[in-house]
């Protein structure tokens, strides 16, 4: 069989030679002399590489193994090192001579022949070996790779796909080799290490900022020494190595080192000199701060509301600095629900300021964060898999007007109205920051003292009646008793807060406004029963200031009734769905006959330990 073999343009003429300097290139362990002007092998080479390849191309038509022969590979290697245009032309000619041949195999063989061709591979191997020698590779419950790095003075824990672990790996390689790592090599190394952690490593539980321990709670200081605070009913102490695995995100900042026990007493009362929390709300704010360190219970949402000049942002920043300091202490309004969950994935405390309003979907997202849940979206546009962000986080919000308007969120909110600060009582930012930096360690130590005291009292707290956020209510009762308040006083105050929240929820709901007007016209006791359509017609006759949120159908009215039913039940009105009939959904609105006496507002008596917490 014969075939026409294409020859490269500009083939080497073995008789052409000029008298000038030469240099050598090492190929396959042998020196090849190269003409400096023409770039071609000099006559001292054993064989003309182009002639060797052209002869091989003739045989390649019937034998695909020709490209793996030693002399052919060496010839291609010489050309790649000395005459790249001819190398590319002949490589292309090989593909045309026999389409079944593998030029990919040829490329690999040529790379192996050339000096320095395995630099990337060796760097990758060294990088992986270095990491595996100095850290332990594991994975979490979601099969995300985690690296645990023991060091003489600390233990670091990073997710393998994190900037923190990448920086550590680059630094370790520099100390070992005094060389940088190319981006492609680093990506390959991280992929290899992640695979090792997922497939060979043990599953471990990884925490951010706070974790439950057998006898109390652990708080990650997020400092350079990777220290933590261990709080128990017997007290608190700084531990150099946490018994649980804490990791961190790039934006996290360290908590202050609390003043040591015995050097000076912690004083949480100093907090009120740096915040604008009214005295009657201070115990609730302290309970919220401590509850932020309890990941095993639902988190209430703190809502700070006040007009301009009420130090909302300053107060929020100070409170956050005691729980989860961050590069960005306050964030602007989220655009989407996904933004809320992305913020939660990268922060322990979710903090938004200057909110003028939230969409119903965003308010539902904050409800989910408070009690724990997730957000799912499509992982890639090329497949149907979901990317799920599951988390539970404490939340703090502020705004001029009330932010939480949906009943579900209001049930979870600790609402605090901040008074306006007179112009002659305001301080400039420099003095405010300097004063807080001075007092923050002492306040944090006082907060830890209070946390320990509350944990000691908590087992004795029994609630006869419980609000929606019962775990917070129980902790708050323990905090109040630790501060010297009478048993039950916090529960009364919290019940009053919940009732006020119910009123706000109904005031902002168009259906509730119309229903209140309709019920005011009825003769007691109220006992109405009918279809959603009939109630829709009845309520539609009443005027309300804003009809933008008015339901467009009886079905929409039924949805609204389900949302406001818990709030009305707390006010003594039972709204019950009775099922469906041929005419539509059946509802009953009736007065609850047995109703508990409303709690009275707390008295002026109370403790003053840890500072004045009431007027």
Q: What is the pLDDT of residues 422-432, one digit of tens each?
A: 888 888 888 88
The distance of Cα 168 from the centroid of its chain, to the nearest Å, equals 21
Please tell me what DSSP assigns to residue 593. Answer: S
On the question of pLDDT at 298 being above 50, the answer is yes
Tokens representing 223? 């400092």
Provide the 8-state DSSP code for 66. Answer: G
Structure pTM?
0.73
- How many other β-carbons are positioned within 10 Å of the β-carbon of residue 244? 16
β-strand partners of 107:
none
β 30-35/22-27 pair status: antiparallel
Domain boundaries, the chain: 22-113, 119-204, 268-500, 509-591
pLDDT 10s digits, 317-350? 999 999 999 999 999 989 988 889 889 989 999 9
115 confidence band (pLDDT: 50, 70, 90): low
Q: What is the mean pLDDT of residues 418-441?
A: 88
Residues with Cβ within 8 Å of residue 513, at least 6 apart in sequence: 506, 507, 542, 544, 545
Contact indicator for 5, 58 with CB cutoff of 8 Å: yes
Using the 8-state DSSP alphabet, how is residue 161 labeled? S
- Do 217 and 242 touch, CB atoms closer than 8 A? no
The predicted-structure confidence for 133-186, as pLDDT tens digits, reads as follows 999 999 999 899 999 999 999 999 999 999 999 999 999 999 988 889 889 899
Check whether 25 has a pLDDT greater than 70: no
Q: Cα separations (Å) of 586 from 535, 563, 576, 581, 582? A: 10, 16, 9, 7, 10
Region 346-373: mean pLDDT is 90
**532 and 554 Cβ atoms separated by less than 8 Å:** yes
Residue 211's contacts (CB-CB under 8 Å, 6 or more residues apart) are 217, 218, 220, 242, 244, 246, 295
Comparing C-alpha atoms, which of 505, 529, 493 is closest to residue 603? 493
pLDDT tens string 171-192: 999 998 888 988 989 999 999 9
Report the distance separating Cα 315 and Cα 317, nearest Å.
6
Q: What is the pLDDT of residue 381?
A: 44
**Contact yes or no for 87/79 (Cβ under 8 A):** yes
pLDDT at 508: 75
Q: Which CATH class is domain 509-591?
A: mainly alpha
Query: Bridge partners of 413?
Result: 301
* Of residues 76, 197, 187, 79, the one with CA closest to residue 138: 197
List the Cα angle 477/480/484 in 5-degree steps.
135
Superfamily of domain 268-500: P-loop containing nucleotide triphosphate hydrolases (3.40.50.300)
pLDDT on residue 12: 38
Q: Give residue 426's pLDDT.
A: 82
Highest-confidence range of 386-400, 469-483, 497-511, 594-608, by mean pLDDT?
Answer: 469-483
Instruction: Kindly give the residue spans of alpha helices, DSSP state H, lying in 183-322.
Output: 183-199, 282-291, 312-321
Which residues 6+ apart lie within 8 Å of 178 measured at CB? Answer: none
pLDDT tens for each residue of 65-111: 999 999 999 999 888 888 888 888 898 899 889 888 888 788 888 87
> What is the reported pLDDT for 260?
67
């Amino acid at each position: 069989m014969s075939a026409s073999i294409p020859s490269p343009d500009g083939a080497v003429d073995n008789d052409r030679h000029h008298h000038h300097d030469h240099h050598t290139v090492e190929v396959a362990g042998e020196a090849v002399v190269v003409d400096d002007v023409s770039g071609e092998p000099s006559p001292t080479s054993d064989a003309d590489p182009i002639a060797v390849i052209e002869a091989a191309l003739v045989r390649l038509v019937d034998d695909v193994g020709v490209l793996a022969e030693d002399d052919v590979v060496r010839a291609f290697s010489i050309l790649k090192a000395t005459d790249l245009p001819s190398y590319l032309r002949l490589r292309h000619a090989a593909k045309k001579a026999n389409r079944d041949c593998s030029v990919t195999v040829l490329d690999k063989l040529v790379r192996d022949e050339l000096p320095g061709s395995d630099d990337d591979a060796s760097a990758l191997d060294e990088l992986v070996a270095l990491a595996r020698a100095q850290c332990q590779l594991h994975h979490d419950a979601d099969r995300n790779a985690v690296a645990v790095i023991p060091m003489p003075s600390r233990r670091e824990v990073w997710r393998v796909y994190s900037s923190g672990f990448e920086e550590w790996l680059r630094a370790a390689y520099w100390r070992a080799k005094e060389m940088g790592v190319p981006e492609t090599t680093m990506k390959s190394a991280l992929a290899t290490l992640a695979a090792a952690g997922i497939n060979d490593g043990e599953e471990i539980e990884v925490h951010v900022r706070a974790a439950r321990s057998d006898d109390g709670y652990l708080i990650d200081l997020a400092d350079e020494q990777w220290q933590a605070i261990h709080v128990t009913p017997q007290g608190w102490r700084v531990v150099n190595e946490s018994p649980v695995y804490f990791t961190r995100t790039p934006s996290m900042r360290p908590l202050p080192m609390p003043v040591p026990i015995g050097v000076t007493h912690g004083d949480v009362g100093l907090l009120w000199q740096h915040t604008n929390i009214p005295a009657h709300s201070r115990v609730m704010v302290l309970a919220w701060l401590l509850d932020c360190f309890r990941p095993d219970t639902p988190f209430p949402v703190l809502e700070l509301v006040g007009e301009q000049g009420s130090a909302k942002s300053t107060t929020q920043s100070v409170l956050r600095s005691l729980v989860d300091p961050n590069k960005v202490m306050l964030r602007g309004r989220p655009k989407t629900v996904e933004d809320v969950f992305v913020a939660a994935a990268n922060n322990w405390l979710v903090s938004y300021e200057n909110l003028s309003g939230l969409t119903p979907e965003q308010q539902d997202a904050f409800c989910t964060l408070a009690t724990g849940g997730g957000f799912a979206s499509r992982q890639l546009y090329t497949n149907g898999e979901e990317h799920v962000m599951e988390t539970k986080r404490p939340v703090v919000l502020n705004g001029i007007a009330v932010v939480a308007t949906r009943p579900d969120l209001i049930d979870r909110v600790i609402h605090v109205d901040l008074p306006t600060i007179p112009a002659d009582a305001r301080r400039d930012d420099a003095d405010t920051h300097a004063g807080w930096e001075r007092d923050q360690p002492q306040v944090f130590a006082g907060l830890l003292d209070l946390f320990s005291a509350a944990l000691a009292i908590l087992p004795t707290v029994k609630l006869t009646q419980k609000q929606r956020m019962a775990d917070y209510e129980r902790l708050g009762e323990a905090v109040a008793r630790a501060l010297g308040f009478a048993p039950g006083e916090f529960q009364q105050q919290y019940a009053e807060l919940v009732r006020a929240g119910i009123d706000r929820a109904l005031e902002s709901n168009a259906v509730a406004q119309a229903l209140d007007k309709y019920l005011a016209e009825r003769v007691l006791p109220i006992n109405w029963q009918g279809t959603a359509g009939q109630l829709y017609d009845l309520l539609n006759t009443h005027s309300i200031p804003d009809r933008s949120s008015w339901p467009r159908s009886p079905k929409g009215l039924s949805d609204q009734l389900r949302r406001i039913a818990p709030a009305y039940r707390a006010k003594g009105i039972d709204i019950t769905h009775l099922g469906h009939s041929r005419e539509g959904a059946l509802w009953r609105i009736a007065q609850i006959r047995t109703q508990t006496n409303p709690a009275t507002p707390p008295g002026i008596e109370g403790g003053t330990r840890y500072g004045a917490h009431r007027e």
